[in-house]
Amino acid sequence: MCWSAYVRLFLPTSSARSETQLSVSETRLGFLRLKSFARHSFTPTADRLVSPRAPSTMSRAPASAGFLLLLLLLMLPAGSTSFFDQATQPKCRKIQLEMCQDMPYKSTIYPNKFLPIDEQDVTDIAEYYKVLIKTGCHPHVKLFVCSAFAPMCSDTVPKGVTSCRSVCEEVRRGCVTIVQTFGVKWPEMLNCSRFPEHPEVCIDPKLTKGGTFEHEQYELPSRIGNPGQMIYGGEGVRESFVFGHLPSCPKDMINLDPTDRNGTCAARCNADIMFTKVKKETATFWMLTLAFLNAVVTGLTVLTFLIDSARFRFPERTVCYVAACYFFYSLPFLSRFFLSVDRTACSNTPSMASYLIHSGLDNTACVASFVVSYFFSMAGSLWWIMLAFTWFLSAGRKWVPEGIDACRSYLHLFAWGVPMLLTLAVLVTHKVDASELLGLCGVGNTDPWMLLGFHIIPRLLFVVVGSCLIVAGFSSMCREREAFRRRGTDTSKLDKLMVKMGLFSALYIIPSIILVICDVYHMAVLFQWYPHTIGCKAQGGADRGYCNRPVHPQWDLYMLNLVMTFVIGSSTGLWVLSSKTFFSWQRFLCCGLCSPPPPTKLQPNAVGQGHPLIPVGNPPPHPPNGHYLPLSVATSVPSAQQHSLYPSKVV
């Protein structure tokens, strides 16, 4: 059969011959346009389809892309819509394609994951396929083309549904002959390998009567997830889309993907799943109070370092960075003063149902709060490691402040670089989730394995390494202290220094151990709760009774975790709590107009004048040749200044 007869077969028989010939001419022209389009057609990939009228090239990300991404997230306003919202958040929209207005559904998904190109390109490209539809080469050609360019979307099918692969293959077998008649290959963007197949949910019309295809009336299913059909058809034709039975979520949770029997459920925003409303309100009150106190203490500590920076040298300068990290760490918690849980911890489905985030980057405020809190929490722990390390160098290896200061770039690289890598790892995996108790986003709130990998293991490692360095430094300082006493040197200032360092170390180590214990408890709770809440569908669904929840967790342990978090940051204020701090603030506030404090008179033979951590006292007897002097006297010898990178040694 020639192509003109094939076209006439599907044209209205009541049309005049001239009209039929005109339609044939239009069809010939349409296929020529389709052939021309095919020459410039793009090859779809898994990541991006490029429009023929707007080709693009992939640029290589610079090496600092991770750092720029982190800065971008830090600067994003909490109330704006992020690029994640615009690019990844699926939404149901009314079908705009004119040729698809009579489909059995009225809404389509955007962005279209089957053809990930912009909306204008979809409209332009779809025009080339009108000629294929007009031929009527297969009863389902129109449904197939429209489901590819405008996949079905509804409140109960948020992911979008397109035709099954079997439908594509049937349409291709029926239409490929007429397409090839004009020297046009089957369009790559309609490659059947790109379409889903059973058991995935897809559109698969089954003819139940007759063999013709007439203009239809359509009807959507009332609910997807229960046995039922989506019926469309006219007189003599009745077709159905069979979805079958799919597991459901508990009533206080949202089924994020009803078409996926192994999909996840999400708690409704402000629903009481693991904690009651009263407990959540109490936790929020104490969270805001502790965050405010922590911000005040750490802020004053940082300002004290800034107005009198010459007074603080390594290793105690690292305390300033610890305080700065915990100051920024408290900011996401303080954001709950003016942002509700809906803004900081919830997202919306395409049908605008609000749910608590358990994985994703769709909420700007959620992502920003995670980045700030997690990054500075890890950075604060790393700077505490740097304090322990420089303390070990100073007390155990007899390094002078100048030697440590010369290596400060390596300290900064390690203390800021590791937290950045950990933060980017969470962002890449899209494992940002929200806490039901606090209404803020982090990592490991709902996923026990992420909690283990990004909280428990790093914190436990920091505690062990830091404790070893602290103990090694104290061991060396105790030996020096005994040597001073045998020589008759006053060790009162050394004792005060050791007490301060010991207290500060204890206020980090003990809370960190408690945090690890609380996190281990939370991980055990998640292993019990996850299969009955988020993973309910994978267990068989709530409608079959497979999602009975365990007892509620111990709220007191979660509050203890919250308190210990802010104890670490607030402990930095003890380091600057002295009369010298008072005089520094007095000079700063008076702008030099106030009378300065009386100068401290030093004994001519005082020791330790060049090192901030070693007390002033009577000089010990001169050691024998080749003996390493303690740091308290090393800096008073000129030769020590010449080799600041090495242990101070006086011959």
Q: Is the pLDDT of residue 341 over 90?
A: no
Cβ neighbours for 36, distance < 8 A, ≥ 6 positions apart: none
- Across residues 270-295, what is the average pLDDT? 90
Q: For residues 135 and 179, give the distance between their C-alpha atoms in angstroms, rounded to a whole number.
A: 10
Helices (H) and strands (E) in the chain, counts: 22, 13
Q: Is the pLDDT of residue 227 over 90?
A: no
In angstroms and rounded to an integer, the radius of gyration of the C-alpha atoms of the chain is 35
| Domain-embedded: residue 595 | no
Inter-residue contact 179 to 252 (CB < 8 Å)? no
Q: What is the pLDDT of residue 420?
A: 92
Q: What is the pLDDT of residue 249?
A: 82
Inter-residue contact 357 to 433 (CB < 8 Å)? yes
State whether 188 and 310 are in the same domain: no
State whether 196 and 285 are in the same domain: no
| Domain-embedded: residue 92 | yes
Tally Cβ neighbours within 10 Å of residue 196.
17
Q: Is the pLDDT of residue 301 over 80?
A: yes
What is the domain-level CATH number for residue 113? Answer: 1.10.2000.10
What is the domain-level CATH number for residue 391? Answer: 1.20.1070.10
Q: What is the pLDDT of residue 306?
A: 79
Cβ neighbours for 178, distance < 8 A, ≥ 6 positions apart: 3, 6, 7, 135, 137
Residue 242 parent element (H or E): strand 239-242
Q: pLDDT: is 504 or 609 the higher one? A: 504
The predicted model scores a pTM of: 0.61
| Domain-embedded: residue 66 | no
Q: Is the pLDDT of residue 82 over 90?
A: no
Inter-residue contact 221 to 228 (CB < 8 Å)? yes
* Buried b / exposed e along 17-56 (16+ C-beta atoms within 10 A): eeebeebbeebbebbeebeebbeebbebeeeebbbeeeee
Q: pLDDT: is 417 or 222 the higher one? A: 417
State whether 193 and 289 are in the same domain: no
State whether 198 and 283 are in the same domain: no
Domain region containing 568: 278-345+362-577
Which of 538, 452, 536, 557 is CA-nearest to residue 267? 536
State whether 173 and 306 are in the same domain: no
Q: What percent of the chain has pLDDT over 90?
A: 13
State whether 482 and 337 are in the same domain: yes
State whether 503 and 381 are in the same domain: yes
Q: What is the pLDDT of residue 470?
A: 83
| Domain-embedded: residue 620 | no
Among 80-84, 304-308, 614-618, the minimum mean pLDDT is found in 80-84
3-state DSSP call for residue 73?
A: helix
| Domain-embedded: residue 84 | yes
State whether 45 and 185 are in the same domain: yes
Q: What is the pLDDT of residue 241?
A: 43
State whether 164 and 287 are in the same domain: no
Residue 240 parent element (H or E): strand 239-242
Give the pLDDT confidence of 555-613 residue by residue, as tens digits: 889 999 999 989 888 888 777 777 676 777 777 677 655 555 555 554 544 444 444 45
Last residue of a domain, one of 181, 203, 225: 203
Q: Is the pLDDT of residue 389 over 90?
A: no
State whether 538 and 428 are in the same domain: yes
| Domain-embedded: residue 59 | no
Q: What single DSSP character describes residue 628?
A: B
Q: What's the domain count of the chain?
A: 2
Q: For residues 32 and 29, give the distance between their C-alpha atoms in angstroms, rounded to a whole number.
A: 5
Last residue of a domain, one of 561, 577, 593: 577
What is the bridge-based pairing of β-strands 265-267 and 346-348?
unpaired
Q: Is the pLDDT of residue 7 over 60?
A: no
| Domain-embedded: residue 626 | no
Task: Work out the mean pLDDT of the chain and round it to a whole number.
Answer: 70
Q: Is the pLDDT of residue 154 over 50?
A: yes
Last residue of a domain, one of 203, 219, 238: 203
Tally Cβ neighbours within 10 Å of residue 380.
26
Q: Is the pLDDT of residue 514 over 90?
A: yes
Report residue 378's pLDDT band, with 50, 70 and 90 as the boundaries: very high
Q: What single DSSP character describes residue 273?
A: S
Q: For residues 95 and 97, give the distance between their C-alpha atoms in angstroms, rounded to a whole number.
A: 6
3-state DSSP call for residue 385?
A: helix
State whether 195 and 293 are in the same domain: no
| Domain-embedded: residue 522 | yes
Q: What is the pLDDT of residue 609?
A: 45
Long-range contacts of 224-227 (CB under 8 A, 24+ apart): 224/154, 224/156, 224/157, 224/258, 224/259, 225/156, 225/255, 225/258
Q: What is the pLDDT of residue 216?
A: 37
Q: For residues 311 and 304, give the distance between their C-alpha atoms in angstroms, rounded to a whole number.
A: 10
Side-by-side strand order, sheet with 91-94: 91-94, 107-110, 152-154, 157-161
Q: pLDDT: is 434 or 119 the higher one? A: 434
Write down how long the chain is.
651
State whether 196 and 312 are in the same domain: no
Which of 332, 326, 324, 334 is CA-nearest to residue 303? 324
Q: pLDDT: is 644 or 205 the higher one? A: 205
